Structure 1
Amino acid sequence: MNKQTIICVDDEEIILDAIQEQLQASFGEEYNIETSDSGEDALEFFKELLDEGQQVPVVISDYIMPGMKGDELLKEIHKLSPDSLKILLTGQASIEGISNAINNAQLYRFISKPWDKNDLVLTVKEAVKSFFQEVKIRKQNKELLELNASLEEQVIERTEELRKANAAKDKFFSIIAHDLKSPFNALLGLSEAMLENWDIFPDEDKLDFVMDINKASKNTYTLLQNLLEWSRSQTGKVVVEPSEINPKNIVQNNIDVLKQHADSKEIKIVNKVDDSVRCYADENMISTVFRNLISNAIKFTNINGNITVTSSINHQLISFCISDDGIGMDEKTKNELFNLSSKTQRFGTSHESGTGLGLHLCKEFVEKNGGTISVTSKENEGSTFCFTLPLSN
């Protein structure tokens, strides 16, 4: 590492030689003791040192010199490096000059000529010590500011995490309090009515009751399934296990699972996913995403409607889109779909209930697998949900 520099300025060569000799004996091993016979030259040399990234702890200057006087030199040096400590060493300084150096250059010390060697060495030693203490304090202050900024950022992040956790908790209890309670009330009411009136109900009414119980049971099971998967993802218990998967098969399997619901509304579902495409993702998670998005499409599509599942490749990503010609949604509803704290519950075209939880689960699972999810929709014209996944190499 280059030695740091102490600069001495005086227009008399004999003075410079004496100062340099005295300081060299005490500081020569640690510092370069440089001299200059004019303020202008000293200022240029000082600038060169700063440009080279060197620190100049101390500048010692005479006051009366041809051209630039000592107080003006120290003032200019202070503008360039406020931390460098400035010492006037002169026998002819005026009160005005000293005041100028004190007020505009933060003069560290004034020493009269002729000087005492020990006083000069001690003054420079204390100045150097003070300089590096200030450097250390500035460094510590900078580190503290950076630490505070980091802590503030962590507090903001933690606050946001807590906000999301509270929203998740509120959503959880809302589902338990309302969305699970309602279907169980229906199940209990239907089953009790059948038990109490079994002998007097005609067979066709019994069949209707059984179908209603079956429908309520399926909806409740789907809700419980989503709730379980979502709660596991919130507690970090869901581990992503990606592998090479065939998305067309996954889509078809979920269409088959949901066929009864689609058939009851005479909805046609077409699987146009490219059979040759393979993506790299967790099969169970992606199956859950397709199941929820196709189920939602069925829910909000009118009788005799159409749903299409397509795929397209863009660089190293494959995009899947589930499109329907159903009731769609307005801009406000669309913008709040993935906001857990918003109430976006809507009933389907056959009065199917829902919590919106499935969409939050889709978003989490897609993002955990390195993708993104989006939606476009227009009222009375339908909706299209698209998400991306990495292609398999």
Structure 2
Amino acid sequence: MKNKKSTAPEGEHILSTEFFSQVIDSMPDYSIFSVDNDLKINSWSSGSTQLFQYEVEEIMGKDFDIIFTEDDKTKGLPKTETTKALQDGKAVDNRWHIRKDGSKFYAYGQVYPLKGEDGEVKGFVKILRDLTERQNAEKYAKDVEELSVHKESILFILSHDFRTLLTGVTGTAEYLNKNFDKMDKAAAKEMLQLLQITSKQQLDLLDYLVEWARIKYASEAFAPVKINLYTDVKKVFDALNDIAVTNKVHLHNNIKKNINVFADSEMLFSILHSLLNNAIKYSHKEGKIVVRAKTKENSIIIEIKDDGLGITKEIKDKLFTPEITTISNTWKKDKEAGIGLILSKGFVEKNGGKIWVESTEGAGSSFYFTLPSEKTK
């Protein structure tokens, strides 16, 4: 095809297609390529080859969606990008993309419509820049910040709850040591029982803190596997049967037997045990606790519902935070309940889920948490 004769004034330069191609190929940090109206790739820069690993001859004529994750393809995002570019003049996004070898990278991208001289859309151009290192740096900074927050939380608990329990133990032991010979036998026995109960609370609190620290600071402890949810709930019911019978609370496992989650088994047991234990403690006599689950997209939503005391707004706003153990009410007296909720939140989030509560004072509570239904990358 012959080039059109230049009509530019003398002394001005015409920027040819070859010149633009050289400019594009001189930017190896960027992937720049175009697709036609059928979303088939019809140009491919050297930066694209470097980023996606496809050579020009391998990629030409392939569908635009070849660079998108399966999840994004299912959502129809390749078409969404071009539609938005047509409507707004460009589409901008930050998302994960797929290389030839299946590895993923995080990129900032822009899509623009390509128009001919008559204004007709000829296709689209996509410009990408790899942000994986920046994304990893931001994740590292976030992880450091999270560890700092959890360290402060542990110190908060140690300085308040643990110190309070230790003070009670040492104070009682000191009194007994000084006055045992002249104390009434019944009074001495009562103080010894108090000492035993307080020591047990202290040991339980220490176990919670050790477990929390183990999960937060030892990544090798995290081992997610496929778990049958019905079976795991039944195991926790068996473990809590005595306390449920003592409190005359009825446990109902309404989980369908074919529902599975992908999570760390020890963490899941701890989450279920903590939430169910709390539900039993704050239920009325002859109360009922129901555990059920439903699937939503790639997650399982687990609900633990009781018809007990319910939760005030003051408490609800501080659940899953260290402040829960300092509120002047029954939760302050039961350190395990507050610490257990903080621990459960950490475990749920470690497994890629979230946790929340819905409650009406005097009418019971529903604790919800989500877990992946299958292995995530």
User: Is contact 1:254-1:290 (8 Å) kept?
Assistant: yes
1:366 aligns with 2:348: yes
3-state SS of paired residue (2:323): coil
Give me the whole-angstrom Cα distance separating, in 1, the residues matched to 2:151 and 2:172.
31
Superposed CA offset, 1:147-184 (max 9, x none) = 9x999988876665554343322221121122112222
Matches within 5 A, 1:331-342: 331=313, 333-338=315-320, 340=321
Q: 1:313 to 1:161 in 2, by over 3 A?
A: closer
User: Is contact 1:7-1:56 (8 Å) kept?
Assistant: no
1:343 aligns with 2:323: yes
Give me the TM-score of the superposition, normalised by structure 1. 0.53
- Residue 287 of structure 1 deviates from its aligned partner by 0.8
1:268 aligns with 2:249: yes
Unaligned runs of 5+ in 1: 11-15, 24-32, 35-45, 58-142
Q: 1:246 to 1:159 in 2, by over 3 A?
A: closer
More strand by share: 2
Aligned length: 265
1:173 aligns with 2:155: yes
3-state SS of paired residue (2:324): coil
1:304 aligns with 2:285: yes
Give me the whole-angstrom Cα distance separating, in 2, the residues matched to 1:244 and 1:153.
29
Give me the whole-angstrom Cα distance separating, in 2, the residues matched to 1:210 and 1:220.
15
Superposed CA offset, 1:266-288 (max 9, x none) = 25140324372452322111111
- Residue 6 of structure 1 deviates from its aligned partner by 9.6
Matches within 5 A, 1:4-15: 7-9=6-8
Letter in 2 for 1:343: E
Q: 1:356 to 1:181 in 2, by over 3 A?
A: same
1:201 aligns with 2:184: yes
| Greater alpha carbon shift after TM alignment, 350-359 vs 167-176 | 350-359
3-state SS of paired residue (2:330): coil
User: Is contact 1:255-1:269 (8 Å) kept?
Assistant: no
Letter in 2 for 1:197: F
Superposed CA offset, 1:363-382 (max 9, x none) = 23223334332211122322
Q: 1:206 to 1:320 in 2, by over 3 A?
A: farther
Matches within 5 A, 1:307-318: 307-314=288-295, 317-318=299-300
User: Is contact 2:228-2:259 (8 Å) kept?
Assistant: yes
Matches within 5 A, 1:1-393: 7-9=6-8, 55=20, 161-194=143-176, 196-197=179-180, 200-203=183-186, 205=187, 208-258=190-240, 266-274=247-255, 276-279=257-260, 280-299=262-281, 301=282, 304=285, 306-314=287-295, 317-331=299-313, 333-338=315-320, 340=321, 343-345=323-325, 346=327, 347-348=329-330, 351-354=333-336, 356-391=338-373
User: Is contact 1:324-1:382 (8 Å) kept?
Assistant: yes
3-state SS of paired residue (1:304): coil
Give me the whole-angstrom Cα distance separating, in 2, the residues matched to 1:153 and 1:374.
28
Give me the whole-angstrom Cα distance separating, in 1, the residues matched to 2:295 and 2:344.
21
Give me the whole-angstrom Cα distance separating, in 2, the residues matched to 1:374 and 1:190.
39
User: Is contact 2:284-2:309 (8 Å) kept?
Assistant: no
User: Is contact 1:327-1:379 (8 Å) kept?
Assistant: yes
Give me the whole-angstrom Cα distance separating, in 1, the residues matched to 2:224 and 2:134.
36
3-state SS of paired residue (1:356): helix
3-state SS of paired residue (2:335): coil
User: Is contact 2:284-2:307 (8 Å) kept?
Assistant: no
- Residue 360 of structure 1 deviates from its aligned partner by 2.9
Q: 1:56 to 1:157 in 2, by over 3 A?
A: closer
User: Is contact 1:226-1:358 (8 Å) kept?
Assistant: yes
User: Is contact 1:269-1:306 (8 Å) kept?
Assistant: yes
Q: 1:278 to 1:173 in 2, by over 3 A?
A: same
RMSD: 4.5
Aligned-residue identity in percent: 24
Q: 1:262 to 1:221 in 2, by over 3 A?
A: farther
Letter in 2 for 1:344: I
- Residue 229 of structure 1 deviates from its aligned partner by 1.7
Give me the whole-angstrom Cα distance separating, in 2, the residues matched to 1:156 and 1:200.
63
- Residue 362 of structure 1 deviates from its aligned partner by 1.4
Which is higher, the Rg of structure 1 or of structure 2?
1
3-state SS of paired residue (1:166): helix
